[in-house]
Structures are given as structure tokens and as C-alpha cells.
């Protein structure tokens, strides 16, 4: 039994590596893609909004689809959707095709992350959740390596095809491991009449889920936290070049320290969370992240590499732990639905906040980056303290 659960966890980890690869191709490849199809670089912002809006829809609808089709079939479907999107990108000849495939990619990512995060939160430990998101970070690190190689030596289209082929292998592994999924219950949904299915598989509406104690503050907190993180990752390079006088190449290299720090932090989460409760661990990491942001704002350029590594390390465990603690707050019976709303909120923060900062910075200058980071993080930290006080386990 334990070996089958462990093997199933390995398959899920592989699925998240594939998702990380497919979801991280656009940023690396966009200069080459935009030049090839003849659209401005600025069009990337529109696709990003489309992807994350579709991701929010996929996350919010996952619980209803899970009730009808089950975890295995939904993971197969969402993975197939992402694979189709990546291969379609490799063949795209117009911006319109990229937009449509962006909708598919975002929807597939939303379904996958909601399905898998909810499954891990209910059936596995916080350590497993940390390692799960470490796998996603590994996928995010692999995507630029794959795509940059083919952009230099061949074409971006071949890079997308190779990435799609790797994700296709992941899909094949999931399909070949059907027996493993029986360890958690029947794979094939029972054939029930509509009334019987509704009675056997009750699904709360979004309004009902938001009315559960903690059901509103949980997604709101993640909205502000993810807004902080993604704003730092998306606009940190521009802040360094515009306000710190750093060259574009060196500033871009600083982002590597953030990603490496996140991988280390999420790997460490898998060990530390075995001994420390989610609520305490999250609070400590938020305090460390606050310290890192303060160091970033007041340190010299020479000090930035270790500061960025520190911020990445502190931020790495926070996102997976915020998801893992949901069942302990709202109950396992409500966890999947609330996690879906939580991830939808994070997707909207990821899509909208960087655009808002870009618009404001274009008017008043990139000094406003510091204000954005401070306000967003203060909101996230305050909401987390309120959540712990009202709904945290004693």
C-alpha cells in the first residue's frame, strides 16, 4: 500500500514537471516568436492575461469536473490539453492562433494545478506538497534551457516541439499507471442517474464555499501574496535597470538567483515541514521574506546576488504550504472547492497586478515598484495574521 502511494506520488511529481515546462516556454521564446510571426513584443502582455484568466477559470471549475470524472481522468484530460497547446504553438503562423492556444494552455494548467494540489492536500503531507512545487520549479528551469538551445542552434518551433514531446511522454506515463490510481478508490465514476449523482457527489457553489469560515480570506490572502511574488519576478529586472543603473544582461541574470533560491526553499520545505506545523512555518517564511525585501530595497548592487537567493529561499515554501493548510481550516469535504477558488485568485493576481504596475510605472517611473511591493506584501501578511487568529488551529 505504501509503495503504491509512493509510486503514485512520483507520477504526480512528473506531471508537475511537465506542467512547469509547458507553462514557462512563452517568456523565454517570445522575442523569437514575435519576430517570426511579425507582432510587437508588447503583445506578450495580452497573451499572459489570456493564459492566466483561462487558468483561473480552469481552477474554479475543477471541483465540478472532479465530481463527474474523477482525479485520474481529469489529470489525463488537462495534460492532453496542455500537450495539444504546446504542439499547436510550434505550428502557429498567426497571433490569433497563439491567443486561442493560450486559452487552452491556461485552462489545462488551471485544471491540473487545482486537481493535483487538492489531491495532495487531502492525501499527502506538507512535505509532499513542498516537493510537488519543487518539481514545478524544476520544470520552469528546464524550459528556458530547452528553448534557448534550439533558438540558438535551430528554431524556436523545434524547441516547442521537443518540449511538447517531453510532456507527451508524461501523458503516456500517466496513462500507463492506471492501476496505481486504484489505491485511492475506483477510477471509473459510477453510472448514476442525475439525482443519485447529485446526492452522492455534492458540490458546493462558489458562493457557498466563500461563506464557509475562512473561505473568503484564504483566496484573498493568496491573491495578494502571489501579486507580490509575481510583481517582484516580472518587474524586478526593470527596476534594477531603470532605478539602480544595472545593465540589462546583469539584471536578467539576477533572476536566476531567485529561481535557484525557490527550488532550494521548496526542497527544504519537504524536510522542515515534517517537524513544523504549516501555520508556524508560513509565518516564519513570511517574516524572512519581509527581511529579504527590506534588504533588497536598501542594499548595494554588489550585495544583490545573496539577497535574491535569500528572497527566493524564503518565498519558495509559502505558496505550497498555503494550499496544504486549506483542509485543516475548511475541512477535507470543502478543501477541493476552496483550493480551486484560491488558485483562481492567485491566477488573477498573477495576470493583473504586473500589468497595473507597468501602466503606473510608465506614468510616474519605476520608483513606484518599491511602493507596490510594500503595499502588496503588507496586505498579504496582514490577512495571514487575521486568518491565523480567527481560523488557525491552536
Pick the CATH number of 208-394 from 3.40.50.10860, 2.30.29.30, 1.20.1250.10, 1.20.1250.20: 1.20.1250.20
Residue limits of CATH 1.20.1250.20 in the chain: 1-181+195-201, 208-394
Task: Characterize 56-93 residue by residue with b for buried, 16 or more Cβ atoms within 10 angstroms of its Cβ, and e for exposed.
Answer: bbbbbbbbebbbebbbbbbbbbbbbbbbbbbbbbbebe
Query: Is the CB of residue 112 less than 8 Å from the CB of residue 78?
Result: yes
Q: Is the pLDDT of residue 141 over 60?
A: yes
Which band of pLDDT confidence, cut at 50, 70 and 90, is reported for residue 223? very high
Local confidence band at 199 (pLDDT 50, 70, 90 cut-offs) = very low
d(CA 390, CA 233): 31
Is residue 225 within 8 Å of residue 380, measured between CB atoms? yes
Q: How far is CA 317 from the centre of its chain?
A: 12
Q: pTM of the predicted model, to two decimals?
A: 0.75
For domain 1-181+195-201, the question of CATH label 1.20.1250.20 is answered with yes
For residues 70 and 187, the answer to whether their CB atoms sit within 8 Å is: yes
Predicted local distance difference test score (pLDDT) of residue 126: 74
Q: Are 342 and 219 in contact (CB under 8 A)?
A: yes
Of 276, 350, 329, 380, which Cα lies nearest the Cα of 121? Answer: 329
Of the candidates 284, 229, 228, 282, the one whose C-alpha atom is nearest the C-alpha of residue 258 is: 229
Task: Identify the weakest region by mean pLDDT among 75-79, 200-204, 317-321, 342-346.
Answer: 200-204
Cα(310)–Cα(234) distance, integer angstroms: 18
Please compute the mean of the pLDDT values over residues 310-323 and round it to a whole number: 89
Using alpha carbons, list the distances in angstroms from residue 109 to 57, 62, 79, 260, 371.
10, 11, 8, 22, 31
pLDDT at 193: 44
pLDDT at 198: 47
pLDDT number for residue 187:
63
Integer Cα distance of 81 and 113 in angstroms: 13
Q: Is the pLDDT score of 374 beyond 80?
A: yes
Mean pLDDT, range 385-392, rounded to an integer: 84
Amino acid at each position: 500500500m505504501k509503495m503504491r502511494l509512493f509510486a503514485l506520488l512520483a507520477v504526480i511529481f512528473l506531471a508537475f514537471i511537465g506542467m512547469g515546462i509547458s507553462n514557462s516556454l512563452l517568456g523565454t521564446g517570445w522575442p523569437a516568436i514575435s519576430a517570426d510571426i511579425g507582432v510587437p513584443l508588447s503583445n506578450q502582455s495580452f497573451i499572459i492575461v489570456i493564459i492566466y484568466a483561462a487558468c483561473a477559470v480552469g481552477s474554479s471549475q475543477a471541483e465540478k469536473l472532479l465530481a463527474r470524472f474523477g482525479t485520474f481522468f481529469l489529470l489525463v484530460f488537462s495534460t492532453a490539453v496542455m500537450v495539444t497547446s504546446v504542439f499547436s504553438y510550434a505550428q502557429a503562423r498567426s497571433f490569433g492562433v497563439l491567443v486561442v492556444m493560450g486559452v487552452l494552455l491556461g485552462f489545462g494548467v488551471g485544471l491540473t494545478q487545482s486537481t493535483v494540489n487538492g489531491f495532495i492536500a487531502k492525501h499527502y503531507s506538507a512535505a509532499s506538497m513542498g516537493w510537488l512545487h519543487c518539481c514545478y520549479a524544476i520544470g520552469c528551469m528546464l524550459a528556458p534551457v530547452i528553448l534557448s538551445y534550439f533558438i540558438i542552434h535551430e528554431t524556436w518551433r523545434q524547441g516547442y516541439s521537443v518540449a511538447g514531446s517531453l510532456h507527451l511522454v508524461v501523458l503516456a506515463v500517466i496513462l500507463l499507471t492506471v492501476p496505481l490510481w486504484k489505491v485511492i478508490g475506483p477510477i471509473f465514476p459510477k453510472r448514476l442517474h442525475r439525482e443519485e449523482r447529485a446526492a452522492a457527489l455534492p458540490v458546493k457553489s462558489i458562493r457557498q464555499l466563500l461563506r464557509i469560515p475562512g473561505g473568503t480570506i484564504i483566496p484573498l490572502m493568496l491573491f495578494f501574496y502571489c501579486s507580490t511574488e509575481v510583481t517582484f519576478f516580472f518587474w524586478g529586472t526593470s527596476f534594477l535597470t531603470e532605478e539602480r543603473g544595472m545593465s540589462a544582461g546583469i539584471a536578467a541574470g539576477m533572476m536566476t538567483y531567485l529561481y535557484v533560491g525557490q527550488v532550494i526553499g521548496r526542497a527544504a520545505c519537504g524536510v522542515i515541514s515534517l517537524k513544523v506545523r504549516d501555520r508556524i512555518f508560513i509565518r516564519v517564511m513570511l517574516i524572512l521574506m519581509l527581511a529579504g525585501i527590506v534588504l533588497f530595497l536598501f542594499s548595494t548592487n554588489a550585495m544583490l546576488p545573496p539577497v535574491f537567493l535569500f528572497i527566493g529561499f524564503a518565498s519558495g515554501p509559502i505558496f505550497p504550504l498555503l494550499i496544504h493548510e486549506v483542509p485543516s481550516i475548511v475541512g477535507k469535504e470543502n478543501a477541493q472547492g476552496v483550493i480551486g477558488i484560491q488558485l483562481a485568485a492567485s491566477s488573477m493576481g498573477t495576470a493583473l497586478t504586473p500589468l497595473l504596475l507597468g501602466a503606473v510605472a510608465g506614468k510616474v517611473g519605476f520608483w513606484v515598484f518599491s511602493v507596490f511591493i510594500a503595499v502588496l506584501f503588507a496586505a498579504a501578511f496582514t490577512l495571514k495574521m487575521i486568518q491565523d487568529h480567527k481560523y488557525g488551529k491552536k
